[in-house]
Structure 1
Amino acid sequence: MSPASLARPLAVLGLGAALIGSLAVGVLHLLPPTADLSPIRRTISEYAFYDTGWIFNYGVLALAAGSLAVLLALAGAGLVRPTSAGAVGVLVWCLGLAAVVYFPKHNWAVGPSPSGTIHRAASLLAFVALPLAAILIARAWRGDERWRRSALWTIALAVGALAWFGVILGAVLLEPFTGVSWWRAIPLGAVERALALAEVSVVLALGWWALTAARPIRT
């Protein structure tokens, strides 16, 4: 089968996996014992520490796999070149999510650790790489009448994700002036969850765009 013929099933697979993975992590907000964690202050990655942590891990990996399927669908539909910066950015997002699972969150109160450092770096890299990649992909199609709306929606969602990341970055940059630890200066859990939802929305926008582009032409 040609890449073009695989674009539609890959888009469907990617959208389904991304939705299932996101819902799996969302369910942890309702299931004990993670339901007792504050969604305002505690980060999502802390769910991995509990007996239901396997749900978190599989949910994140499902999102990573779905994102990779979406990337392949975009390439098959002719919306992105596999060697372009946009494609590389989406791949970095996928690898970053996998690294978040393989290198779990660390309790920084007991001091730094290689695993915790990699986890934090992978998270930051993934959260930045996806929206930037989406903007690069969409910019190339803003002038195309067929895909102008899809491109503008994708750019808007990606900018929203970067804005939420900017809240975290701002807290880090202001720490030397305020004297307040950056993770205490903002409701980190709430901001991280808003950022995660924004990132997932970018994946879904790209997946829907690929699905639309791969739709058979009616004669």
Structure 2
Amino acid sequence: MSRTWNTGVVALGGIALAAVLTVIGHLEVNDDLNPWALTISDFAVSDRGGVIDVAMVVLALATVALLYGLRRAHPPRPRSSPTAELLLGAWVGGLLLAAVVPTNEPGTAMTTAAYLHRYASVIAFLALPVGGWLLARQDRLASAARTLRTLVLLSLVLAAAMVWSAYPGDRVLIGLAERLLILTEVAVLATVAVVQARAVDHGVVVPHERGATA
């Protein structure tokens, strides 16, 4: 069984599980919280150590599976691969740090931990689309290049909307903007995972070595 198939399917499973856990986390929290006005972090801090925090860890581990597939599936690695992998690693690190270090409770003053959480999230949100753009330039992901670029551009627009909401926009619909941003960025990961999972179906494990099979 190919490592490509393993990592792609494992990553897709992790992404799906993280999505289910996030939905459960939203359903379990206090009904007074408004998902359009509050971020996912605001929901998570109200249920510290709950399923939303677990979902963030699961999503980070799913990305680790993708990284393993990117490093092992198709030697030699493209020149842009180390940078893309480093950015995906920054996404993983940002997610894990944001899961471990909570933000402040809604309506309370920002603490040192809350600032650390915020900047970890910012690093994650910016690193993933840039990494996705670099991945779209690689031959091994050529079949999904247009999809990846479209998702990356959309995520950057949503990130700009979230920044506007957080500062001059007085946090109007910041929760909606963030959730759409996360959905788009997770779609980048899912697209890469699908390509990895399908590689075996096409008998492609090492594109530059004819005759290689799963």
Which range, TM-score by smaller chain? 0.7 to 0.9
Unaligned runs of 5+ in 2: 204-212
User: Which residue does the alignment assign to 2:109?
Assistant: 111
Alignment of 1:93-112 (within 5 A): 93-107=91-105, 109-112=107-110
Q: Please give the alpha-carbon distance, in whole angstroms, between the structure 2 residues aligned to 1:126 and 1:152.
A: 22
Match of 1:39 among 11, 35, 42: 35
Give RMSD over aligned pairs: 2.6
Is residue 203 of structure 2 the alignment partner of residue 205 of structure 1? no
Alignment of 1:59-98 (within 5 A): 59-78=55-74, 84-98=82-96
Residues 28, 35 of structure 1: 8 Å contact kept: no
Q: Please give the alpha-carbon distance, in whole angstroms, between the structure 1 residues aligned to 2:105 and 2:45.
A: 10
Q: Please give the alpha-carbon distance, in whole angstroms, between the structure 2 residues aligned to 1:136 and 1:147.
A: 10
Residues 171, 186 of structure 1: 8 Å contact kept: yes
- CA drift at 1:5: 3.2
3-state DSSP class of the match of 2:26? coil
Is residue 154 of structure 2 the alignment partner of residue 154 of structure 1? no
Q: What is the one-letter code of the residue matched to 2:44?
A: A
Q: What is the one-letter code of the residue matched to 1:210?
A: Q
CA offsets 1:80-109 (integer angstroms, 9 cap, x no match): 559611111111001100000111011475
Q: Please give the alpha-carbon distance, in whole angstroms, between the structure 1 residues aligned to 2:133 and 2:183.
A: 17
Unaligned runs of 5+ in 1: 176-181
Q: What is the one-letter code of the residue matched to 2:129?
A: P
Quickly say closer, same or farther: Cα 1:110–1:28, change in 2 above 3 A. Answer: closer
User: Which residue does the alignment assign to 1:168?
Assistant: 162
- CA drift at 1:52: 7.2
- CA drift at 1:213: 2.8
Quickly say closer, same or farther: Cα 1:215–1:76, change in 2 above 3 A. Answer: farther
Q: State the TM-score, normalized to the length of structure 2.
A: 0.84
Alignment of 1:104-143 (within 5 A): 104-107=102-105, 109-141=107-139
Match of 1:192 among 178, 186, 193: 178
3-state DSSP class of the match of 1:84? helix
User: Which residue does the alignment assign to 1:178?
Assistant: none
Q: Please give the alpha-carbon distance, in whole angstroms, between the structure 2 residues aligned to 1:110 and 1:147.
A: 45
Q: Please give the alpha-carbon distance, in whole angstroms, between the structure 2 residues aligned to 1:70 and 1:21.
A: 15
